[in-house]
Structure 1
């Protein structure tokens, strides 16, 4: 038996060799007390009252719960493409969303709040005072809809609550519209909740399921019914609210790194893995494409040109979303988030490397080929043993620059939930309630990685020049 329209529920053998289902939850764990990261017994865990509900749903199904953490506006594509089985992330069942997915019964209702800097508490104390103000909201949320209805309001829509609060703290917005319990969870000495109350249709919160999946939806509704009846939902809310850390003591950047070093080390491993594999595959594909680009056969040359122009002319984020979600929706090809990240970095890098190789190959004196042919080499032998080594040596600095670029651009894969360095920095921001230190640590680590790589490439270049002299 499966619960997902794309048969996403996996089966694993437990110790008694009986089949055990795995149901996949999609969430954006930066929304305390609904879902958030917290270190418990030395281990990072995703907790919150939404997570408690999800665990109960899985338990009632006799299934194991797997949690996929990603950005909020990646949740709907993840569900419709079959990468997750259901969504719980403080999500309102708005009419617009109901066009794409089905929703369970409402399991919780909460008020909306206006958060401001403490000094502005009396300045923005009614909804009328927010007219024409700069307001921060979460992208693709009910709060964004509320902000759009405020006359003259200038909205800044961002993915993360922590980013919205950073905008507020640095005077880039005047106020932020935030879910009431979330505002309370993030309340610090810098902020205040005003007496202004947004007027909005109360959609409540519900669980998202892919359309035409009544079996899973009915099972979820059955669990919600007994949780609500037994008063468990409010119990989960109170328990999760008590787990929120709130404001923490300010630390210097180095001490901050030592405290959260395990997160950054895990992120470094993924970043290096993505970058190394991206360059290796990009190198191979790029060399092949450069040969197509220079081929005498018109159709092959056109294919090479089209490949390069399309990949260089479209944003990497678009390429990532097409590979991760588009292929799943259209062809039912479901790459993991890590696989999608590696593929995207590889093909994007290959387009630039192809032009680098072409420049290097064309930069080798034509007399080299003629000399090799005169010695009895075939064209392919001459290219492989004479032309290509010289071309790669000539463009090694450009290849090194592309490697450095990939290390920095690999951060884009955090958008789909790959736990690279940038993803871990965002997790630390959620755990620590610190706005700047997690980013400063990430910036220093990126600099160290790229600086060390540039020095190693410099050493390699000097050795190659020395070998040419001798």
Structure 2
């Protein structure tokens, strides 16, 4: 039993390493990785071009010019805005362009290029309420929505009595405004014009100002060679007036997006390719998380029941720590913090590892309860027949224990499928990631999420039924 568990854990690490090496088939081809949050039209956003989901925007055009001057292929990594700095400082991306202000706080973590664009701020409110918020004084005491970790958040915090609501995505903020959860949203003028619903929203005459409303490109501390090259590219683009050209083209492209009036099923069918891709990633991560969580959980359960105090203490500590901390925190520690010790995982590896380690802690206690629930007399009878303790555990105790705890194990598997949605925070293209892409590219606030919920329900419902069939078959064998 112990040898098989060791082989299983070895296989676990081998699969993780294999998943990370697949993307490196290009070998020696020079690449440069851009980190961005593609929900900020016309800076960067998703748009279907020739049937392919593509990240476009004037920030992206600037990044292409930087890559061209470096003689490198540009790779775009889309993630949430507040994850961009960890992505950069951990070395997962080479530079960041995402409408980012070079604030003093950020300069303590990363270096910035010369500014390439100056922003104009605006206030969005519901139609019919613009007279209430036509001045900055009118915003005092209001509920104000802003993008997390943005310059707008700093502006809002400086408004007396304002109740600031900070979220990752601009579409989420506008949905909050439309549903009455906030009174106003602070955003840049081009962002506001591109993303807001002009039938229900309007831009007021209020003019928010900030000490630093310029945008710059972020690089890791000390990467002077890349920073110098970026500044040279920006100087060329400014000299040739290409940045303004990129802004105009991106604004026209963003304005060409239309709002779909589809029901949930029509929406799913139209964008089924997005969801099918998301289902593949969700099933891959969930399946491997379940398999390795099962193996590791059984191993930890046996450690927990060991008579060796050190081994038992290690297992108990692991279980308590993992069960006592949120899975999202565990995901960020594995994906970002471990890179400080030169331990770097790809997003898929981090997702599989987090799900496996988290699930193992819960399954370990389930296994322990099942093993202890088997009558001890059966173990003693097996030993009296000449079986070793390992043989008795493998052939007598474990089969009965697993049969008794199958419903609890099945419930844990269902939980893994649902909680796999957290991997979208680190850029894995799962169901939730695809839903967020569609929310930004179609202006549909609810349909992408309703379709995602329907898919998760179908997956968990089918799994529950299959586990029920298996449980009935095992019960039927007991009655023979």
TM-score normalised by structure 1 residue count: 0.95
Contact 1:29 1:37 in 2 (8 A): yes
Counterpart of 2:426 in structure 1 is 416
Deviations 1:36-91 (A, max 9, x none): 11000000010000000001100000000011111111100010011100000000
Contact 2:148 2:168 in 1 (8 A): yes
Deviations 1:377-413 (A, max 9, x none): 1111000110011111111111110010011101111
Counterpart of 1:196 in structure 2 is 206
Q: SS state of the match for residue 273, structure 1?
A: helix
Q: Does 1:115 align with 2:124?
A: yes
Q: Does 1:34 align with 2:43?
A: yes
Counterpart of 2:115 in structure 1 is 106
Output aligned runs, 1:65-144, within 5 Å.
65-144=74-153
CA shift for structure 1 position 107: 0.3
Match among 43, 46, 55 for residue 46 of structure 1: 55
Counterpart of 2:173 in structure 1 is 164
Counterpart of 2:406 in structure 1 is 396
Distance 2:178 2:414 in 1: 33
Contact 2:257 2:441 in 1 (8 A): no
Cα RMSD (Å) of the superposition?
1.2
Distance 2:353 2:128 in 1: 49
Output aligned runs, 1:159-238, within 5 Å.
159-188=168-197, 189-238=199-248
Runs of 5+ unmatched residues, structure 1:
1-9
Runs of 5+ unmatched residues, structure 2:
1-22
Deviations 1:240-278 (A, max 9, x none): 111114451421111111111111111111111111111
Contact 2:102 2:212 in 1 (8 A): no
Output aligned runs, 1:349-428, within 5 Å.
349-428=359-438
Counterpart of 1:442 in structure 2 is 452
Distance 2:301 2:45 in 1: 46
TM-score normalised by structure 2 residue count: 0.93
CA shift for structure 1 position 12: 7.5
Distance 1:450 1:27 in 2: 32
Counterpart of 2:269 in structure 1 is 258
Q: Does 1:339 align with 2:342?
A: no
Contact 2:260 2:443 in 1 (8 A): no
Q: Does 1:325 align with 2:336?
A: yes
Counterpart of 2:4 in structure 1 is none
Distance 1:376 1:182 in 2: 76
Q: For residues 97 and 226 of structure 1, do their structure 2 counterparts lie closer, same or farther at Cα, with a shift above 3 Å needed?
A: same
